[in-house]
Amino acid sequence: MGHSPHSVPDSSGLRVLSVHAHPDDEASKGAAMAAAYAQAGAEVLIVTCTGGERGDILVEEVQRMPRAHRDLTGLRREEMKLSAKALKIKHIWLGFEDSGLPEGDPLPPLPESCFASVPLYDAAAPLVHLVRTFKPHVLITYDENGGYPHPDHIRTHQISVEAFRASHRENEYQGLGEPWTISKMYYDRAFSLERFKALDEAMRERGGVSPFADRIEFMEKRQRDSTNPAARHRVTTHVPIQGFVHLRDEALLAHRSQVEPGGFFFAASPELVEEVYPWDDYVLAATRVHTELPEFDLFAGLHDGEGDRIGTLRPVPEAFKPELPNDRR
């Protein structure tokens, strides 16, 4: 069943779980979507896999705060709480330690016991338990490149796909709750080429200066690389976010150690975004319900009257199939 591209439908009784690597990722990737569905009656739960304790302090004003260096973990927890409040969603920490972003040639080893170094089974188990407790109809995560190749983002993808694969299987992850079948899984595409092109064109037409040219050039080059997930996974789903972009900005500003007011994220005003590209974009990676593409609703195929809510894993075009991890160490 199709749906109007102008707003999300009433979603009462439906649940979406969005899995992120660090505090602030929920604000930069899908915050307006989360707020829209929360207002539409869905239960929206954001899970943050790590505490972001190895992240850099990116705002000079916060750099000067002694507390930011003494207790960055505590500061980022406070920021996350404010972000969740702005979006009116539920939030939970998965409890893993930030892996940091290794730099150098060759790359240094990952810190011991960090999220990316924990074996897949052990890393996925808390998420499987959460799935079986919260019982989401839809799961949102990153593609196999993590959106960008940060080890925590890649691990977030892996445990999410593992949870989608295994949460409904009685003989796997035993003792972690009653099995639950997730109906649909999406990859986030908050930074889609289509969005940046639309905003770039609109800003130039208005006589302004667009900061997106270099990013567009990089993304177009990436699209031509058939080995890159961004080239393999094209956008299938546009979630209407009209009236909610200002809440995305509020969530971003909650992360004052990470997001500079007036920085890149705020180059296009909420009004301009909602005028020229009023959607958050996603890739339908896997589905167990029938749906037609393109979609304008993450719960397409799951509303009353749209058929069975749970079924067998239905084929999606080859470009959308996720790579299921088999690391069972």
Indicate the pTM of the whole model: 0.90
Q: Which of 202, 167, 205 is nearest to 185 (CA)?
A: 167
Residue 289: what pLDDT? 94
CA 27 to chain centroid, in Å, comes to 9
Tell me how many degrees the CA angle 37-43-45 measures, rounded to the nearest 5.
95
Residue 133: what pLDDT? 98
Q: Which of 190, 180, 214 is nearest to 200 (CA)?
A: 214
Alpha helices in the chain (DSSP H): 25-28, 31-39, 60-63, 66-70, 72-87, 120-134, 151-166, 193-205, 213-223, 229-232, 245-254, 270-276
Binding residues for Zn(2+): 22, 25, 153
Residue 28: what pLDDT? 96
Residues of the chain with pLDDT under 70: 1-4, 305-329
Residue 313: what pLDDT? 53
C-alpha–C-alpha distance, residues 52 and 80, integer Å: 10
Tell me if residue 1 falls in helix, strand or coil: coil
Domain boundaries, the chain: 15-191+233-306
Binding residues: 22, 25, 153
Query: In CATH, which superfamily holds the domain spanning 15-191+233-306?
Result: LmbE-like (3.40.50.10320)
C-alpha–C-alpha distance, residues 228 and 98, integer Å: 25
C-alpha–C-alpha distance, residues 26 and 44, integer Å: 12
